[in-house]
Amino acid sequence: MTSTAGIPPYYENHGFQSENFPPARQPVGAKGYPQYLSPNIPSVPNYVPRVATWQSSRPVAHSTRRACAPTTKKIIIIIISILLVICCIIAAFFIWYFVENRCLGSLIECSNSGVCMSPSQWCDGVIHCPNGEDENRCVRLYGPDFILEVYSPVSKSWYPVCLDGWNDDYGKIACQDMGYSAGTYYYSKGVAPEVDSKSFMMLNTSAENIDLYRKLYTSDFCVSGNVVSLRCINCGLPTKNANIMSRIVGGNLASLGQWPWQVSLHVHDVHICGGSIITPEWIVTAAHCVEGRYSNPYSWKVYAGILNQKDMIFINGYNVQKVISHPDYDADSKDNDVALMKLETPLTFNDNIRAVCLPNPGMMFEPNEECWISGWGAEAEGGKTSDSLRCAMVRLIEHSRCNYVSVYNGMILPTMICAGFLRGGVDSCQGDSGGPLVTNKNSLWWLVGDTSWGTGCASPNKPGVYGNMTVFTDWIYKIMQANR
């Protein structure tokens, strides 16, 4: 996080490495922007274990060639045996991995049929799975009131679910079908439709012991007049009140519990990127943070509910089970710069560890809307990562304005959103990558974007660029659903 003005050299906001841990292979970045390297940052170390060479103080006897031959053969046999054992272990691991993960990457498996499909094929009106579950188990939450909608493959439309006959048991089923665990379920309640709905999904309460979605049918009437508002997780609530929030401008130290969804992502005990908690098991970050050798989930540790980096040294952190980047991520343009991490063990929520709300379809974030960024990024271009979590207020910048020739000259794609100030002065910086851009709406905090890239830090006409979370929400739910 930086409030430094002026025009520093160009850089790409890749996952920041401290002076003791320089960045991995940097992609070209948004085309036309050369990589910035601080003269203080040393060359990238190779992570090869150092093996101490043992030397004896005893003199070495010079034996004859005949005496050495049996010893040499034994050494060769031992080496070959060790290599064979290692190869068997590696082979066993891959056999296990492919059996457990028949659908690799971000593909979704149709039940246990072994058929794999792209998330874009789920709920697209065309049946791809043998049992058709890709079209008859389609649910989503709509708008800031979390209105439950179910997709009708017949009319190829989304309809709100009428409250009549609805209960928490059905709510838990719907939440699980979106990828949430039953343990995070919050509530179901009735609300007035956001728009005048002419059709609803109604429950056939007389139909017993059949799948929830087979009980639903389209109707032009809803007796109660209310539709289901479904909260699958209690999200977007910090422990600090709104009055404290309103005074955070320009870049300041964060308070404990102020941004409880913020996490620090480490490799080899060094902060690399930020991320946001969306469930006890899932973290949203940037795809460019997990490129190349950083795509190995076992390299990462996740730290939550801690303000200072030095305090993380004494804590084990959470292991990562899976790293899944958006399948359409482009390293050059930073298109679709989003990734998910699934933890091996779920986080324990408390006042300092909570989830941020994912924006629902139908939500709009307006230009000039106040948002907040947070992270342990550098406080100046090319500087070291901050030991303490910092935060700052920024404003959303209209898409077309951010594409001005004098700003980013058409490089801002629909999967991106700009935030900051064209005059400069406040911005994300190296080390903030993957971290949250949030806003407060309807008394809840929503994840607007993930920190992606920028030219310089706090430079005039070069605001921060973030992944547009409204575009990614559907993909996130499908990945969560496929990896329950």
Q: How far apart are the first and last CA of the chain?
A: 35
- Residue 484, classed as helix, strand or coil, is coil
Question: Catalytic one among 14, 266, 271, 288?
Answer: 288
Question: Catalytic one among 164, 335, 337, 450?
Answer: 337
Closest CA to 457 of 406, 388, 384, 398: 384
Name 167's Cβ contacts closer than 8 Å, sequence gap at least 6: 188
Q: If phi over 0 gives left and psi between -120 and 50 gives alpha, with beta otherwise, what is residue 286? A: beta
114/108 Cα distance (integer angstroms): 10
Which residues make beta-bridge pairs with 267? 270, 300
288 is catalytic: yes
DSSP symbol at 31: T
396/406 Cα distance (integer angstroms): 17
240/256 Cα distance (integer angstroms): 8
How far is C-alpha 458 from the chain's CA centre? Answer: 24
Name 293's Cβ contacts closer than 8 Å, sequence gap at least 6: 24, 299
Question: Catalytic one among 18, 188, 374, 433?
Answer: 433
Helix (H) / strand (E) containing 276: strand 270-277
Q: What is the DSSP string of 295-362?
A: G-GGGEEEEES--BGGGGGGS--EEEEEEEE-TT--TTT-TT--EEEEESS----BTTB-BPBPPPTT
Q: What is the DSSP string of 241-272?
A: -HHHHTT--SSEEPPTTTSTTEEEEEETTEEE
Give the number of other CB atoms < 10 A from CB of residue 21: 20
Query: Tokens representing 52?
Result: 């101490």
337 is catalytic: yes
Just list the catalytic residues.
288, 337, 433
